[in-house]
Amino acid sequence: MENLISLVNKIQRACTALGDHGEASALPTLWDSLPAIAVVGGQSSGKSSVLESIVGKDFLPRGSGIVTRRPLVLQLHKSDEGSREYAEFLHLPRKRFTDFAAVRKEIQDETDRETGRTKQISSVPIHLSIYSPNVVNLTLIDLPGLTKVAVEGQPESIVQDIENMVRSYIEKPNCIILAISPANQDLATSDAIKISREVDPTGERTLGVLTKIDLMDKGTDAVDILEGKSYRLKFPWVGVVNRSQADINKNVDMIAARRREREYFSSTPEYRHLAHRMGSEHLAKMLSKHLETVIKSRIPGIQSLINKTIAELETELSRLGKPIAADAGGKLYTIMEICRLFDQNFREHLDGVRTGGDKVYNVFDNQLPAALKRLQFDRQLSMENIRKLITEADGYQPHLIAPEQGYRRLIESTLVTIRGPAEAAVDATHSILKDLVHKAMSETPELKQYPALRVEVGNAAIESLERMRDQSKKATLQLVDMECCYLTVEFFRKLPQDVDKGGSATQSIFDRYNDSYLRRIGSTVLSYVNMVCATLRHSIPKSIVYCQVREAKRSLLDFFYTELGKLEQKRLSALLNEDPAIMERRSALAKRLELYRSAQAEIDTVAWSKPPSSSASPTPLLSPAVSSPLVPALFIIGDSTVDCGNNNYLGTFARADRPPYGRDFDTHLPTGRFCNGRIPVDYLALHLGLPFVPSYLGQTGELEDMLHGVNYASAAAGIIFLSGSELGQHISLTHQIQQFSDTYQQFVLSLGEDVAIDLISSSVLYISIGINDYIHYYLRNVSNVQNLYLPWGFNQFLASTMRQEIKNLYNTNVRRFVVMGLPPIGCAPYYLQRYKSNNGECVEEINDMIMEFNFFMRYMTDELLHELPDAGIIFCDVFQGSMDIIRNHKSYGFESTANACCGLGKYNGWMMCMSPQMACRNASDHIWWDQFHPTDAVNAILADNVWSSRHTEMCYPMNLEKMVFSQSLNNLV
């Protein structure tokens, strides 16, 4: 059960490192839920002597007045017999103290750093770990001694301040109180017993220690107290005999002091029957066993608290939004991503996923028809107006048969009135679209996070809608004008002949202007106008949808994107201005979430049934299959080129968990690798003397499974978060890096910080990602990205993003990087068939982009090597190595350079590999396995080039073999 105490030790150290001291704050605290033993006593009660007796070393500051002015979290670790004793402070990682006088001085110095050289106190704890074969596994918190008066240089409030601090620790239900009381004073006046009784009246959490028994007046003893008769606690009292000041001055060592203590209790008649449970050695063992028992009982509750708090922190962090990227590329991507979310919300309103889009249909189905029906043609078709227009149209020569020109003028003057309802329909649709823009903005939390960006996006969207409204109004009114310009002749041909009731086909010229004749003309015109209204009722909505609704869905922010690409970093930063309080809160929440996740991972990995390790600082164990690896581990971040099975656990089309994938692998079964056999990192693992690296989602979570490395790669992932999202779930680059960080924190908590840092910094991190940013993003023109970036700008943006991520990984103590460039995807079967390549010739316009990206990446590598002088970064130009294989395929043993082994269509590039029947007989004859991925044979060649430049030199400034065997990583510069 010793690993339980070690577990709490690690979590306590993490709490302090990440600012959780258990004090009242606006953040949830994990510290308060951890079982701990707090040592409480008054000044001169012998508290420090008890602690030194338990440790067996002189290491605590001594003097008059208040010496302990900060809580000291003392973590004892039992090491192997014969091993050297040493101490470590959390604030001085990797520095070991073997001189315990130096430990005492550092405690004093660190206290002064926090409180100054005054006699003030601080609640921020000091963490001290002591490794020794002479201690038991135990954690104690030494609190400042309770006092009744302030000494010179201290404020009057110091008495209450100390009591409040002590009380803040011991009033917590998970705190075990070790109450130190001197036997030569009346127990009723004991500061420790008094405050313990107040917070733990039943004595359930209090352990009593009686000091200075050997200094009691002659004729008196402490038997009644030790037997629990005068003051009963749930657990038996323990008596100790500390060294006197004279012993300390004479440098009497702890071994002699403990021997004298044992002799005292065994030889004193009053205490002889209690000797088996007296003394500092018994006290240490009893405390260790009791703490283990309490921790075991509290673990389920701690797990529940951690899981609940993680969910709460994640919810609040999600509400606050992501932090702002530092570089221009990151800022630009953040703005584009926020705009995409807003645009998506807006489209969902129109498409019916969200409410509001139905109002547009209501304009077409109710508002427009009602407006047309309400049109009053009385003025245009009044007798006076008809007579006036016909007469004017006839001029000096009256019409002979029918007043055609009069008809035209009447119809034109009447149809003009339809412009009003048409314009009103356009304006109503515009108003609805504006409302939907405001709704979509309010439903995009990220826009609330950045008020300046919200204003700019809102203004840009409204401006776009206004342009669309003007265009729609122009097109819609043109429909009305077209009806005025050209009449439907067939309508008039179908009218009955102009015959009077008496059957006479002729009328006098003068009779033609009577009321009956004019009414007939008005009726005919009205019928025609009604027909036109019925036609426009259907054509006006089509025009509005085409010019406004369709365009709003397609290009609401296109103009904004164009202008965005021209902005300098200063202007981009202004768009992402954020309330400093929100930034501070997010940072605090992120640290606290990191703490809880680390604690969760540590608790989950505790092997309850396994015997504890006897080593104070465990080191990684090698797999039986591995004798002497060249590096501790290989970690992999990337896409389908190196995914070994993570996507098997995700809801995505990008999965290789079916035959014939894996048919030539060692197991002859699909594993999730997008290949007929091994992927490049499998061969590199063998070169490094390591086993195949397990997938992050496929591993058991046991520490031993991760010590040789973890593969975080996920098919469809890209440098840009959106890349490949149309295929379903994938683990983005950012998320993969977070998973790596989680693994690192798990190593820190399980192995100790020194071992974890050494493991990570000595291992290799392999990065292969970026293909999907072209295949599934730029070349598909997702979010109109080609309007925002020319290829050169897009490549620069990707390289800038990668640069920042590599620096982030460097800050997680990674020191050996292998960064892979992109292969010639313009030669991939998919693009050969899509671009209708002749004779399998590569698509040069695509390959030109890839070569340019690789140029940027190589240049970035050179810059980082100078910026991070203790890092080894290798860039491998996969394009160069792959083109050497394609151009010289015969010498490499390949028959086909264009046709995929598995697929359908021309070059087998039209459809991905779906069944064994689609695969060729011998994959080793082919360069390409499927639409995009090379065969096992090509992967082996490329891996050899990365390792030793065996076939062609494609890695700069050196290959992986040279980096591994370099005496100094500085040789890379």
- Given a cut of 70, the residues of the chain with pLDDT beneath it are 1-3, 13, 16-28, 31, 63-66, 118, 151-153, 324-330, 376-407, 489, 492-515, 517-518, 565-570, 604-628, 701, 967-973
User: Please, which residues bridge with residue 22 across strands?
Assistant: none
Please tell me the distance from the alpha carbon of residue 795 to that of residue 735, in angstroms, as a whole number.
22
Please tell me the distance from the alpha carbon of residue 291 to that of residue 285, in angstroms, as a whole number.
10
Map residue 141 onto helix, strand or coil: strand
Question: Which two three-digit tokens encode residue 905?
Answer: 């269509």
| Cβ burial, residue 190 (10 Å; 0-12/13-18/19+) | buried
Q: Fill in the amino acid letter for 972.
A: L
Alpha helices in 321-403 (DSSP H): 328-351, 358-362, 368-374, 383-394
Q: Fill in the amino acid letter for 945.
A: N
- Say how far residue 355 (Cα) sits from the centre of its chain: 31
Integer-rounded Cα radius of gyration of the chain: 41
- Residue 312: name the closest of 104, 592, 35 by CA: 592
- Going along 356-511, which residue ranges are E strands? none
Please tell me the distance from the alpha carbon of residue 541 to that of residue 429, in angstroms, as a whole number.
10
Question: Which two three-digit tokens encode residue 3?
Answer: 């690993």
Please tell me the distance from the alpha carbon of residue 760 to that of residue 871, in angstroms, as a whole number.
12
- Say how far residue 472 (Cα) sits from the centre of its chain: 43
Please tell me the distance from the alpha carbon of residue 514 to that of residue 387, in angstroms, as a whole number.
9
Query: Which DSSP string do the residues of 926-966 spell out, in sequence order?
Result: EEESSSS-B-HHHHHHHHHHHHH-SS---EES--HHHHHH-
The predicted pLDDT at position 406 comes to 61
CB 924 within 8 A of CB 952: no
Kindly list the distances between the CA atom of residue 532 and the CA atoms of 54, 83, 429, 480, 484, in Å, as whole numbers in the listed order: 102, 101, 22, 9, 10
> Do you find a cis peptide bond into 660, omega within 30 degrees of 0?
yes
Map residue 916 onto helix, strand or coil: helix
- Which residue in this structure is represented by tokens 């209204």? 533
| Sign of the Cα pseudo-torsion (683, 686, 691, 696, in order) | negative
Beta strands 175-182 and 36-41 are parallel
- Residue 659: name the closest of 908, 905, 917, 932 by CA: 917
H/E run at residue 768: strand 764-768
Q: Which domains does the chain have, with CATH numbers?
A: 2-20+35-300 (3.40.50.300), 349-575 (1.20.120.1240), 634-963 (3.40.50.1110)
Phi, psi of 926 (to 5 degrees): -110, 145
DSSP state of 611: P
Question: Which two three-digit tokens encode residue 499?
Answer: 């015959």
Contacts of 570 (CB under 8 A, 6+ apart): none
Please tell me the distance from the alpha carbon of residue 89 to that of residue 560, in angstroms, as a whole number.
54
Per-residue pLDDT tens for 413-424? Answer: 778 888 888 999
The predicted pLDDT at position 498 comes to 45
Question: Which two three-digit tokens encode residue 650?
Answer: 């995700």
Q: How many CA atoms lie within 13 A of 827 on its CB side?
A: 23
Kindly list the distances between the CA atom of residue 817 and the CA atoms of 110, 631, 960, in Å, as whole numbers in the listed order: 37, 13, 9
pTM of the complete model beyond 0.75: no
Beta strands 634-638 and 238-239 are unpaired
Contacts of 884 (CB under 8 A, 6+ apart): 951, 952, 954
The predicted pLDDT at position 830 comes to 93
H/E run at residue 73: strand 72-78
In which region does residue 209 sit, left (phi positive, over 0), alpha (psi from -120 to 50) or beta (all else)?
Answer: beta
Contacts of 158 (CB under 8 A, 6+ apart): 66, 119, 121, 147, 150
Map residue 184 onto helix, strand or coil: coil
CA angle 111, 116, 117 (to 5 degrees): 90
287-296 burial code (b ≥16 CB/10 A, e <16): bbebbbebbe
Instruction: Considering only the C-alpha atoms of the chain, give the largest distance between any 2 of them, rounded to a whole number of Å.
Output: 154
| Cβ burial, residue 40 (10 Å; 0-12/13-18/19+) | buried
Please tell me the distance from the alpha carbon of residue 662 to that of residue 933, in angstroms, as a whole number.
13
- Which residue in this structure is represented by tokens 């908590």? 749
- What separation, in Å, do the N-terminal and C-terminal C-alpha atoms of the chain show? 49
